[in-house]
Amino acid sequence: MATPSGKRILLGISAGIAAYKSAHLARLLKKAGHEVRVVMTDGAQAFITPLTLQALTGEPVRTSLLDPEAEAGMGHIELARWAELILIAPATADLMARLVHGHADDLLTTLCLASDADKAMAPAMNQAMWRHPATARNTRQLEADGWRLLGPDAGDQACGDVGPGRMLEPEAIVDALFKAPDAAPLMAPDATPDEARPAKGLTVTITAGPTREPLDPVRYLSNHSSGKMGYALAEAAAALGATVHLISGPVSLATPSGVNRLDVTSANEMAEAAYRLAAQSDVFIGCAAVADYRAANVSEHKIKKTANSDELKLTLVKNPDIIAEVAKHRAGALRPFMVGFAAETRDVEAYARDKLTRKGLDMIVANDVSLAGLGFGADHNAALLLWPSADEAGQALGRRALPAQSKATLATAILDCLLERLEQADATASPLAATPYSPQDPQ
């Protein structure tokens, strides 16, 4: 993605194994036309040398707060004033904690306190450290203080663990920092935090991507979902102030900033996570393309072709209907506002209306995935929003058509409508919130 040129970026590097990625990040930023200066903590120098970063940026690398030459002219204050953006990558759990408490015990933390520049960081740590309540508290405080968190990603870690905590890849960091011109800003420049974050206080659970249903150790049933729409919704919801849980099928996407991501593979795994998190949520958005069926029996070994048959017969059984199950089980006063998706190839509105009613949803987002350049795998989409709406004659149907646009912009438009509907539902105190939440075990 093209990035605006000419920005003065202060790249801070702290003591994580992911520091080796910072060299590539510095190179990408320079290649995009930005002026880059690097500040390294003492620990960062154990993973990558200042000389490497100096060669890539063409600028001296600063490592010490008490550098006699630099301090002769109050160098750290000059550097703080020079920066238009401070980007810390990687940002360790220790550094995040020190920034939360306003420490200024090294050059990097001092610059962060002394600068009015925009600030962003890419966390990187062990998955248990990222999930620790202390880190969660620090994350919330940093965001409240104006920091933008990019990631982390999830996957294999250097320590051998698997889970969230990996630093985003450099390309993903650059992409997240400099979005397309039509992408919604994280916060309006002149808005107060509460005005810019209308979803603050809400907990939103979103399912995204496909599921995979194994046939044998090497084959599975799946679909073309890329997860882009669900991830765009998660990013937009977090930017609007919500606490966001993203239940993700297998996709090749980075975790949106400030989002809690849970990776699953099969429909049963997604169902278990959805039932658990729905009970803690104000809003549940079922955006995932869940496989309707799975193999009745998964072969222990690879299914081989046979010479005397041109056919392979599979017995399939139904997967749990996640959105319907969550919708029919209520969570008392905290009953989630239910939003479903209908990806259709014909009679889009008719099928969506039927699904809205049949599954007991509060809103449905319908789109025609047969249109070229829209839907599965594309960066743009159009949608038709439908919801039940009481009128003088009884129950009518609310309707809002959203034209083709980037999925990032579309996500914000969907959430705007959702928040309107949620506010109206709160005002009318729907009786649907009466029964206890007791989801069935996934089939």
Is 373 within a domain? Answer: yes
- The rounded percent of the chain whose pLDDT value lies above 90 is 42
**Can you give the pLDDT at residue 428?**
56
Whether 100 and 52 share a structural domain: yes
Instruction: Answer whether residue 431 shows pLDDT above 50.
Output: no
Is 186 within a domain? Answer: no
Catalytic: 112?
no
Instruction: Answer whether residue 291 shows pLDDT above 80.
Output: yes
**Can you give the pLDDT at residue 208?**
95
Q: Chain centroid to CA 443: how far? A: 28
Give the total number of structural domains in the chain.
2
- Summarize the confidence of residues 293-314 as an average pLDDT: 86
CA distance 411 to 259: 15
The residue from 149, 178, 207 where one domain ends is: 178
The SS3 of residue 207 is strand
Whether 211 and 79 share a structural domain: no
Is 441 within a domain? Answer: no
320 in a labelled binding site:
yes
The SS3 of residue 374 is strand
Whether 249 and 137 share a structural domain: no
In one letter, which amino acid is 111?
L
Instruction: Answer whether residue 71 shows pLDDT above 70.
Output: no
Whether 214 and 329 share a structural domain: yes
Catalytic entry in 1, 74, 144, 159: 159
**Can you give the pLDDT at residue 396?**
61
Pairing of strands 394-406, 380-391: antiparallel
Is 439 within a domain? Answer: no
Q: Chain centroid to CA 201: how far? A: 18
Instruction: Answer whether residue 3 shows pLDDT above 50.
Output: no
Is 3 within a domain? Answer: no
* Domain range for 385: 194-300+311-433
Nearest 10 degrees: CA dihedral of 307, 310, 316, 322? 110
Per-residue pLDDT tens over the stretch 383-408? 999 998 765 454 567 889 998 888 88
CA distance 320 to 383: 26
pLDDT, greater one: 389 or 59: 59
373 in a labelled binding site:
no
Is 233 within a domain? Answer: yes
88 in a labelled binding site:
no
**Can you give the pLDDT at residue 140?**
87
112 in a labelled binding site:
no
Within the chain, how many helices (H) and strands (E) appear?
15, 19
The residue from 124, 143, 178 where one domain ends is: 178
Whether 222 and 370 share a structural domain: yes
**Can you give the pLDDT at residue 378?**
77
The answer to whether 210 touches 282, Cβ cutoff 8 Å, is no
Instruction: Answer whether residue 251 shows pLDDT above 50.
Output: yes
Q: For position 251, which CATH number holds? A: 3.40.50.10300
Per-residue pLDDT tens over the stretch 76-89? 677 888 889 999 99
355 in a labelled binding site:
yes
Is 87 within a domain? Answer: yes
User: 154 pairs with which residues across the strands?
Assistant: 164
Whether 46 and 147 share a structural domain: yes
**Helix, strand, coil proportions of the chain in percent (round to 5)?**
35, 25, 40
Instruction: Answer whether residue 66 shows pLDDT above 70.
Output: no
Grade residue 188 by pLDDT with cuts at 50, 70 and 90: very low
Is 443 within a domain? Answer: no
In one letter, which amino acid is 78?
E
- Summarize the confidence of residues 83-105 as an average pLDDT: 92
Whether 142 and 275 share a structural domain: no
The SS3 of residue 172 is helix
Instruction: Answer whether residue 328 shows pLDDT above 50.
Output: yes
